[in-house]
Amino acid sequence: MELITNENNFDPTPKLKSSPVPILFLPFNNEKLKCNNCRNTYTATKLYKQKYCKQCLSSYIENITNNNIYFDVNILTNNANCIKHKTTRNLNFFTKNIQEWCENCSEISYFKNYYDHINTTTQYIFIEKDCKLCGKLIDKISFGFKMCSDCYLISSGWIKSTITDINIPILYLPWWDTSNKSAFCNHNLKFITDCQKWCPDCFIIYVGCRYCLTTNIIYGIIDKTQCIKCKRISNINIEFTNISNGNHDIDEFLISTRTNTDCHEMIANYMNIMNKNSDPLNVYSFIERELKNVNSKRTMKWIQYSQIKNLEKIAEGGFGIIYKAIWLNKTTVAVKRFRKSQDTSKYILNFLNEVKSLHRCYDTVFIVKYYGITQDPVKKDYMLIMEYASGGNLHSYLKKNFINIKWITKLAILCQISDGLKTIHNENFIHRDFHSGNILSLKNDYKKWVIGDLGLSQPADNSLNNEIYGVIPYIAPEVFQSRVFSKESDIYSFGMIMWELTTGCKPFSKVSHNTELILQIIDGKRPEITTDAPKGFTNLMKKCWYSDPSKRPSITTIKSTVDDWYKKCKKDDDILAIADNKRLELIKSKQIGPEFTEKQDPSAIYTSQPLSSLISQVSSNNSSSKVSKQEECKSDIDNNTQRQTIFKSSRFSSINSSSKYISNDLDFDIETNTKRLTTFESTRSSFIKSSSGYISKDLDIDIETNTQRLSTINISSMSHNISHPSAIYTSRPLSALISHVRNNRN
């Protein structure tokens, strides 16, 4: 086997020879009690507690007929009265020649080229200042176990992986590594043979040569490796069924979750960056300092399908089916089946997109956790194994418990949701399908909420496909026009979730989810706002709805604001007392709450669906004569010429009689902890009636300051207790519909 290195003639131990017979008396695991070869109990060296088998050592010596040095050993005598050596040895006797071994009086002090990085480094009981092989001064003040940089030479390079067919780094250590834990992740190693071990978590393989007592550390999966000293090739017998399914792209991803390619270059070039005169054992410090836990995210495992039992279908979406199941006969999990499409490459791409997004955003408590992936051996569908959210999704929770959900609870939920979205955005990802169906409660106590279903998530600077999927009411208006999602479009969706928390209903449930709704959203149509919402909450929600994405707040700003609200309200119950009282009034009068909504029409779908064709219709059918209602409203506001109603009130006014909704913001200052209601005046906005509903205008409201201006949003006269038969609340492809809207506007 050809090494990918320029060091083919490199000798890692120039003062030692390769043994003519295998050295079987040393274990590859220093924690082992009995010899692999003869099953006798190991003996421990006087220093450093290194294990060796006396019987196998004696057998080895019998097979050695010359005085060559094959391993670096220090031999003492423990019996000055030995009959055989009574006149030649005393208690100060010392030798490195294994041929001088005596079964009656010899004792091994320690092996120099035998090292356990877990245990040896903690034992500082012997001081050795010079190298016994070459006489070089190792250290003026030497404490503990050290090696000579002239006699023990580390090499490094690249070797090709047999699974991914890419180059992976390899370290050639000039000693016998007997550790039972990975130097990279500190997890227990799994022993394959008496000279091979590997870490199933970080995919690092250790292969020892029993002729040279050297160790190759390979940072990836291969099926064979070569000793850099004697050139012997060792086949590696790892069971691949738990780490590979045969698909190159998926296998490459699975392996990438266990290693960090950012550190591969450092490993492969270690021999060029290390201090040539330093202790070679510093390589472990290098791993500890530079590489250990460099990939802190959980590894993605390949799970055998036979380990998944009792699949029970609990939901079905635009991309697959969700099951509740039992894994390994004990763990309740959620299993997401990705329906196999005719386009295999696109199918794999969509599947990998979700698992990569989950892995990228793993290290947060507010993103759903995963266990691994599997494949149905019959249907060939890939499946994602995740933690089971027994509390269901946010909309189900609101539907069942809306009457009892106080405002402090709504803020607590919003804190967790914003935390999850902040994690996604901080990783420079976009969710792209952010709605209440993808916000999950891990337990039935509804205290822990996480964001799930990252199947449509993509890096912010990359677009994997041009198809538009989603749920129309949650999609930002600019997406229908540009077909490009952004972090700002996630913020728009966040605003819709805020609105859903206030009403318990899904937005635009009473109108058909078609090109007309898309046009109205582009023109500024937004859901009507309830009157129980605190002013700061309402203003933040409105800013999330701005038609201009650049005016929407970042998730960092939102997170900071919501956290501040929650902390203040936890300290003072009276802050939200008025909002909760108003909430109960609206529930009693049947103006809010999902229980007052008529049964949703079967054509109303609330899972992600492809929307490209619908968007295409919008583009094709829209005439150029149509004037944006949003622009008209903005013009009216900017010119201040059509103010129709200016009112003042100590509490509430302006009741929309047709909808029975009070559309004014509760003038309640959540940010200054005041208990009084402020008198407010609408100086820039007015109610604008239209047949198609109310138009939401971008309002100049600063949620960061204690403003006393209230800008109201025109809302439709339709009541919340009607769901339109064509309201679709599943994420779906929208590209065709968007194109239809575009053509309409041309």
pLDDT in the model for residue 678:
36
Residue 11's identity, in one-letter code, is: D
Name the stretches of the chain with pLDDT < 70: 1-8, 80, 87, 121-129, 139-144, 240-242, 260, 291-298, 317-319, 342, 363, 455-467, 595-607, 619-733, 742, 744-746
Cβ(147)–Cβ(175) below 8 Å: yes
pLDDT in the model for residue 694:
32
Residue 493 host element (H or E): helix 487-503
Query: Per residue in 461-474, pLDDT tens?
Result: 554 455 678 899 99
Q: For the chain, how long is the longest CA-to-CA vector?
A: 120
Cβ(616)–Cβ(515) below 8 Å: no
Distance CA 574, CA 673 (A): 9
Q: Which residues contact 641 (CB under 8 A, 6 or more apart)?
A: none
Residue 351's identity, in one-letter code, is: F
Give DSSP secondary structure letters for 155-205. EEEEEE-TTT-SEEEEEEESSEE--SB-TTT-PBPEEEETTEEEETTTTEE
Query: Per residue in 144-195, pLDDT tens?
Result: 688 999 999 999 999 988 777 788 999 999 999 999 998 888 889 999 999 9
pLDDT in the model for residue 97:
85
Distance CA 235, CA 222 (A): 9
Residue 449 host element (H or E): strand 449-451
Question: In whole angstroms, how large is the CA radius of gyration of the chain?
Answer: 35
Query: Per residue in 580-633, pLDDT tens?
Result: 999 999 999 888 887 665 455 555 556 677 777 777 777 666 544 344 444 444
Give DSSP secondary structure letters for 545-590. T-SSGGGSPPHHHHHHHHHHHHHHHHH-GGGGHHHHHHHHHHHHTT
**pTM (two decimals):** 0.69
pLDDT in the model for residue 466:
57
Distance CA 607, CA 317 (A): 5
Q: Which two tokens stand for residue 460?
A: 């912010």
Query: How far, rounded to the nearest angstrom, does the alpha carbon of residue 382 sit from its chain's CA centroid?
Result: 19
pLDDT in the model for residue 457:
63
Distance CA 267, CA 363 (A): 25
pLDDT in the model for residue 745:
66
pLDDT in the model for residue 140:
55
The mean pLDDT of the chain is: 79
pLDDT in the model for residue 671:
41
Cβ(182)–Cβ(199) below 8 Å: yes
Domains, the chain, in order of start with CATH, read 43-122 (no CATH), 155-291 (no CATH), 303-387 (3.30.200.20), 394-744 (1.10.510.10)
Residue 146's identity, in one-letter code, is: K
Neighbours of 117 (CB within 10 A): 18
Query: Per residue in 488-505, pLDDT tens?
Result: 999 999 999 999 999 999
Residue 488 host element (H or E): helix 487-503
